Amino acid sequence: MLKEHATEYYAAKNFNGWYVFGVLAMVVLAIQLITGHLPDDELQAVGRGRLRLRRVHHAGRRVGWLIRYMHSTGASAFFIVVYLHMFRAMMYGSYKNPRELLWLIGMVIYLALMAEGFLGYLLPWGQMSYWGAQVIVSRSGRSRHRRGAGGVDPRRLFHLGTSR
């Protein structure tokens, strides 16, 4: 079994360093998931449908800063690795026949990652999050002055979990 799956595995002749970015993206994603869940932030109901964020840091005060910075830096590293993975796919023509469906599934995953990155940017609930949401929502082509006509007001994003 070891011989079939590890030592004599058939690989393409043009297998090179560009093929490592898919696995590297998976490793960085695992790091993101681990560092994102280590602080154990919990939402707690405070009555009448309102939520409050209760922070419980099991990681301790000594390494909490390291976990936060690993997570914030890992987000940028993740997108760099994903872009290099997409570049390799375009360079080798992996979007062509017979792999069109695989390419489209990858693009759906990429759009989901972009949406998740945007929502992760909103989580700190600070000035950077608010103005980042202003810029990203304004890029959607809808004016915030036309809210009745389907425009999105970024201020509404911050009222979802806060109490009034």
> What is the percentage of the chain residues whose pLDDT exceeds 70?
71
**Per-residue pLDDT band at 88 (split at 50, 70, 90):** very high
Query: Between 98 and 145, whose confidence is greater?
Result: 98
Same domain as 76, residue 7: yes
Same domain as 106, residue 131: no
Q: How far apart are CA 131 and CA 5, in angstroms?
A: 50
Same domain as 137, residue 163: yes
Same domain as 53, residue 36: yes
Within 8 A by CB and 6+ apart from 64, the residues are 39, 57
Can you give the pLDDT at residue 152? 57
In this structure, what token pair is assigned to residue 29?
């994603």
Same domain as 142, residue 64: no
Overall domain count for the chain? 2
Q: How far apart are CA 29 and CA 6, in angstroms?
A: 24
Q: What CATH number did the domain enclosing 55 receive?
A: 1.20.810.10
Specify burial of residue 3 (Cβ count, 10 A radius: 0-12, 13-18, 19+).
exposed
Contact assessment for residue 82 and residue 109, using Cβ atoms and an 8 Å cutoff: no
**Per-residue pLDDT band at 10 (split at 50, 70, 90):** confident
Same domain as 133, residue 58: no
Can you give the pLDDT at residue 39? 65
Output the pTM of the full model: 0.69
Same domain as 141, residue 110: no
Same domain as 118, residue 131: no
Same domain as 36, residue 111: yes
Predicted confidence (pLDDT) at residue 86 exceeds the cutoff of 90: yes
Percent helix, strand and coil across the chain, each to the nearest 5 = 60, 10, 30
Cα of first residue to Cα of last residue in the chain, in angstroms, is: 62
pLDDT digits (tens, 9 = 90+) for 106-116: 999 999 999 99
Same domain as 92, residue 118: yes
Predicted confidence (pLDDT) at residue 32 exceeds the cutoff of 60: yes
Contact assessment for residue 52 and residue 46, using Cβ atoms and an 8 Å cutoff: yes
**Per-residue pLDDT band at 129 (split at 50, 70, 90):** confident
Domain around 17: 2-123
Same domain as 151, residue 79: no
Same domain as 146, residue 67: no
Contact assessment for residue 51 and residue 44, using Cβ atoms and an 8 Å cutoff: yes
Contact assessment for residue 137 and residue 144, using Cβ atoms and an 8 Å cutoff: yes
